[in-house]
């Protein structure tokens, strides 16, 4: 296959990854306090790497269960189910991502309610412990 035939797929992949990884890092880092950003970033990177490892393992297992490298048709026989499983995993992840904004609004609403109850007594002790306040932030 000529290289120029693959260029559009490479461009789409690059654009897709840049549209995915930067917003995910933003969501992760904006969900923690400033002093916890290093921990959150490390956890995000570790989970991303584990996802890649498990993705390759699962798709490799699907490929090897249905096909082989013996011939072109055997390769396609294994590749087609692996692509479908990968596409299904991406669809499930996209569906889960649709719930992130709703979950974030729910957490923000709870923190606003908690902030209101903290101020009513005039001291932090009446609204909750310091650990509870850290969880709300």
Q: Is the pTM of this model over 0.85?
A: no
Dihedral pair phi/psi, residue 121, rounded to 5°: -95, -5
Token pair belonging to 43: 């956890």
Tens digits of per-residue pLDDT, 35-89?
Answer: 999 999 999 999 989 999 999 999 999 999 999 999 999 999 999 999 999 999 9
Scored b (16 or more CB within 10 A) or e, 115-137 reads eeebeeeeeeeebeeeeeeeebe
Give the integer Cα–Cα distance in Å for 49 and 53.
Answer: 6
Task: Verify that 112 and 62 share a domain, yes or no.
Answer: no
Are 93 and 109 in a shared domain? Answer: no
Residue closest to 44 by CA, chosen among 14, 16, 19, 23:
23
Same domain, 46 and 13: yes
Q: Domain range holding 129?
A: 100-137
Q: How many domains does the chain have?
A: 2
Residues 87 and 109 in one domain: no
Q: Are residues 73 and 126 in the same domain?
A: no
Tokens 């950003």, residue?
Answer: 37
């Amino acid at each position: 296959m000529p290289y120029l035939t693959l260029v559009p797929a490479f461009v789409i992949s690059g654009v897709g990854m840049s549209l995915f990884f930067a917003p995910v890092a933003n969501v992760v880092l904006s969900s923690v306090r400033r002093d916890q950003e290093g921990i959150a970033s490390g956890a995000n990177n570790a989970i991303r790497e584990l996802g890649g490892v498990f993705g390759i393992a699962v798709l490799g297992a699907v490929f090897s269960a249905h096909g082989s490298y013996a011939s072109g048709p055997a390769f396609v026989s294994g590749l087609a189910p692996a692509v479908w499983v990968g596409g299904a995993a991406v669809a499930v992840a996209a569906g889960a991502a649709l719930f992130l904004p709703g979950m974030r609004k729910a957490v923000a609403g709870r923190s606003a309610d908690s902030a209101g109850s903290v101020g009513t007594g005039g001291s932090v002790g009446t609204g909750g412990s310091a650990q509870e306040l850290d969880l709300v932030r």
